[in-house]
A = this chain, B = another copy of it.
Amino acid sequence: MALHIALDAMGGDRGPEEMVSGAILAVRDSAPDLEITLLGDEKRLRDIMAAQRVSSSRIHLVHASQVVAMDESPFDAIRKKKDSSIVRAFALHKEGRADAVVSAGNSGATLAAGIKLLGRLDNISRPGIAGIYPTLKGPLVMMDVGANVDCRPLHLFQFAIMAAAFSQVLYATSRPRVGLLSIGEEGGKGNILVKKTHELLQQSSLNYIGNVEGRDTFQGEVDVIVCDGFVGNVCLKLSEGLAEAVLGMLRDEISKSMKAKLGYLLARDAFSSFKKRVDYAEYGGAPLLGLKGNGIVCHGRSSALAIKNAIRVAAEMARNRVNDRILELLSADQALQQEELGAAAASAPEALA
A-to-B contact residues, CB < 8 Å = 71, 134-136, 146, 149-150, 181-183, 186, 190-192, 194, 213-219, 227-231, 233-250, 252-254, 256-257, 259-271, 273-274, 277-278, 348-352
Contact pick for A215, options B149, B241, B262, CB 8 Å: B241
Q: A247's closest neighbor in chain B, by CB?
A: B246
Which residues on B sit within 8 Å (CB–CB) of A146? 183
Q: Answer whether A183 and B136 are a contact pair too, CB < 8 Å, given A219-B245, A266-B260, A271-B250.
A: no
**CB pair B253 A241 closer than 8 Å:** no
Give Cα distance in the complex from A157 to B135, angstroms. Answer: 36
Q: List residues of chain B with CB within 8 A of the CB of A253.
A: 270-271, 273-274, 277
Most B Cβ at <10 Å: residue of A191, A234, A250: A234
Specify the chain B residue showing the minimal Cβ separation from A245. B218
Contact sample, A vs B, 12 pairs, CB 8 Å cutoff: A134-B249, A135-B245, A183-B230, A192-B352, A213-B241, A215-B238, A217-B242, A218-B241, A218-B245, A253-B270, A263-B270, A264-B270
Stoichiometry, as copies per complex, reads 2
- Among residues of B, the one whose C-beta sits closest to the C-beta of A268 is B263
The listed residue (B136, B194, B254, B348) touching A270 by CB distance below 8 A is B254
Residues of B within 8 A of A240 (CB): 214-215
Top-6 shortest CB links A-B: A263-B266, A214-B238, A263-B267, A215-B241, A218-B245, A214-B237
Provide the residues of chain B in CB contact with A268, threshold 8 Å: 263
Q: Shortest Cβ distance from A69 into chain B, in angstroms?
A: 13
Bound-state Cα–Cα, A321 to B140, Å:
46
